[in-house]
Structure 1
């Protein structure tokens, strides 16, 4: 009766892993066959559960390729390739590396080692050519543990899907928070630098490959950030902004007159008794933004115009001068003028001047507004209206 040894050849000693492999070797092979490519695919999905790497599985795939049949089953499951043959099928992997990965596969209980008396891998055949005895690596564990492997693969796929959905939710919540923070800074002039820094850090963290616990921790932070961002908008103001300012922002346009046509501000400074100091309805902006109205909104700009601002040409010139004092580069200013138009860019800079103490990086802020304007998502109308509302609140 043939004796198949499970003890290692040479100086290698028995350990817990080899003892477990010995018990596995004594287990009878189930009366079934397994598609070797399906079992390799399942192991690829469940490799974390079996603590093997992709390189380990590359060596296992090479071993399995020496089994002649597509189905693994029966008693003929020992393969005995030489190290040179294995190296060739693993695209030139070094023998020392091969030995390390083979040892990992044995310790994971995915293959069994049957060493010959001299440690070589070979097989002997009878007079009829039938295989009598073989020394090498036994693939029997793949058949015995097939159900375990397939179950682990399914669990890994479900966990990956759960992680994907969790990450998807976090990305959407983070996008909502970012949009709310940007709008609060743009339309209401609220200093949101701390919240903006927090969302940028969270966005950076999401670029890494995270496990489920790490994603859950980030999800909690993102949820708190979104709650904080929503708190910037009281219910009554939120409805007003959504219903009027945002809607009418898309309809803001100037009259057919020249953008630099003179429009004296004296009328706004000394209004007639019957004339209101500002439009009573946001829809008035759909026609144009009067120069006098804008100057009333950004009084700080006049401090930089000793001769006064009597037309749009002087307004743009003063804003061009002020942008340097705000730390806005010439390139950022010219880019804003190109995208928004000179007047819109000047109104934007004037509004930024009025809220300068709340804007940490005016240059970067103007560039972000220019980028939004290029997508049709920004005009300075809401900024003007927000400043007017703030002025009215102070006056009240």
Structure 2
């Protein structure tokens, strides 16, 4: 089948469906983590839906329950071609998903099934579906689509790339992890430890800086190889970097202890990032397909470099850096780790799809 035989609308609906499935997986992971201690309480499964609303609630919990369902409802609403069908589908699927997830939590000793959570979940899905389908927002989305067509190539791989770029920002939500870093930085070395180099400290510095360099280069090249014109490269890179830095600053200010505000950056990381920028500058001088291949190589090498990192921090070591509730942090940290582990696989598959579509064109 040629690429011309697949309509853009069909491709977009597939991207929306995949986005909805990813959102559903993230919701289940956050709701059921740490997937241990399962037990049957003996209570009727759906009785919690008819309990009086909880008297004591926390703003943070309510906000998370609302916000996490906004992209879920948004993506579900884009699956059908007709807007009213999309809105109805989002309401039904999101409501059923929320009830099933809350029911699942009855079997976890550290979780409580709540009808208020269901209401906030459905409210978030309603906001997302409304943003996606109502005519009031059509002008805004038309401008967004025009911007997408102008800045990015017309292949469906670019739509998947934009979805993956949004997911990539989740990997930077933990301010205890270095900027563009992929390694944990606890104190001390495991003993006995035999370094490949005579100077173990130098070896760790090279791994730490090399990890940041390859992660930065892979992320930026993943972005630039989907741009439609070279003239957009500098602006896209600047916007990307500013977004990541602001995200780190905000999360560090909100979560880390004040004395550890810049835990996410150090000299080794800074030097690695400088090397990554130089590598990106050199590669982006070429055409699209060499950038695609270079992005794939950086992703592979980054995983190889991280495999040499000998330190593995304990949860207690990492959590001691924060001033937030540890229950929330465990879930957030686990989600960030999961997305960080799976993202290179998704990005590599997207780049392979891009190469295939480039070959067809």
The TM-score range, normalised by the shorter chain, is under 0.3
TM-score (norm 2): 0.23
* Higher Rg: 1
Normalized per residue, the structure richer in helix is 2
Normalized per residue, the structure richer in strand is 1
TM-score (norm 1): 0.21
Answer 1 or 2: higher relative contact order, Cα 8 Å, separation at least 6. Answer: 2
